[in-house]
């Protein structure tokens, strides 16, 4: 039986089309498999990360939220929003927030203010049995002061990769060479603590940009007047 030439051509075209489609399908299959593996890895990483975060109590959250309220006081002054509280036997004995520019002092950090108040309340320079809740990882100065104060524990909201000395740049709080090591827990109300900092620096960049634009316009006006 003779098959019409048109049908032969059509069948050949279909076969050719299938041959061309095969690599595309294979590529799509690989892509889907790759995406699935990536999602699986992300889920596993997230699970591992969550398992490493200590289980915080309602009291812990309450105290960190008070530290965040202190940080907002700093923000209202135009300061980098960092706040902390020191707790002894379920009672806040010291609060502090960043006032470095306001007080024109490099010593006016939140942690040092809280330490001074807590020592006064305790009637002693030693803060044994006390816990500090701080929104941002302490710097080298504050970490040193915490070791010197013999404080028992520090709970940190968010890390400070550029200047933090409780695990980021250094870990002064747990350095074996010192005669006192501090217990440290990380990640309490992490997103809330990070968000207040992000918002502050975003607003600061916007404000500085507006100031630069205003200065540029002023210079242009002066230049036109002189011209």
Domain assignment of residue 139, given as a range: 59-206
Residue 1 lies in a domain: no
Phi and psi angles of residue 198, each rounded to the nearest 5 degrees, phi first:
-60, -45
Residue 53 lies in a domain: no
Q: Which residues carry out catalysis? A: 111
Number of domain units in the chain = 1
- DSSP alpha helices (H): ranges in 77-167? 100-103, 110-122, 140-148
User: Contact at 8 Å (CB) between 152 and 129?
Assistant: yes
Residue 222 lies in a domain: no
Distances (CA, A) of 145 to 71, 107, 110, 123: 20, 11, 12, 17
pLDDT at 51 over 60: no
Nearest CA-CA partner of 201 in 168, 145, 162, 170: 162
pLDDT tens profile 34-50: 667 666 666 665 554 55
Residue 140 lies in a domain: yes
Report the pLDDT value the prediction gives residue 9, as an integer from 0 to 100: 52
CA distance 200 to 97: 15
Concatenating the DSSP letter of every residue in 39-83 gives HHHHHHHHHHHHHHS----HHHHHHHHHHHHHHHHHHHTTS---E
| Mean pLDDT of the 212-225 span | 77
Residue 28 lies in a domain: no
Residue 64 lies in a domain: yes
Phi and psi angles of residue 180, each rounded to the nearest 5 degrees, phi first:
-145, 135
CA distance 35 to 38: 5
Residues near 102 by beta carbon (within 8 Å), at least 6 away in sequence: 77, 79, 108
Residue 95 lies in a domain: yes
pLDDT at 5 over 60: no
Residue 86 lies in a domain: yes
Report the pLDDT value the prediction gives residue 208, as an integer from 0 to 100: 85
Which CATH number goes with the domain that contains 186?
3.40.140.10
Report if pTM > 0.85: no
Report the pLDDT value the prediction gives residue 182, as an integer from 0 to 100: 98
């Amino acid at each position: 039986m003779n098959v019409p030439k048109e049908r032969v051509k059509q069948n050949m075209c279909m076969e050719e089309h299938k041959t061309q489609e095969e690599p595309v399908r294979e590529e799509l299959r690989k892509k889907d498999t790759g995406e699935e593996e990536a999602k699986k890895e992300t889920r596993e990483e997230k699970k591992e990360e969550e398992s490493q975060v200590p289980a915080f109590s309602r009291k812990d959250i309450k105290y960190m939220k008070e530290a965040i309220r202190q940080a907002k006081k700093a923000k209202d002054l135009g300061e980098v929003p960092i706040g902390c509280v020191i707790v002894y036997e379920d009672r806040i004995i010291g609060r502090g927030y960043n006032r470095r520019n306001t007080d024109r002092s490099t010593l006016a950090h939140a942690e040092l203010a809280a330490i001074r108040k807590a020592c006064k309340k305790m009637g002693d320079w030693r803060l044994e049995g006390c816990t500090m809740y701080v929104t941002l990882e302490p710097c080298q100065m504050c970490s040193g002061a915490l070791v010197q104060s013999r404080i028992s524990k520090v709970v940190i909201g968010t890390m400070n990769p550029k200047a933090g000395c409780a695990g980021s740049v250094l870990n002064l709080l747990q350095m074996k060479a010192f005669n006192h090591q501090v217990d440290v827990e990380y990640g309490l109300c992490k997103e809330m603590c990070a968000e207040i900092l992000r918002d502050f620096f975003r607003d600061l960049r916007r404000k500085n940009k507006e100031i630069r634009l205003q200065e540029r316009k002023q210079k242009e006006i002066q230049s036109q007047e002189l011209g």
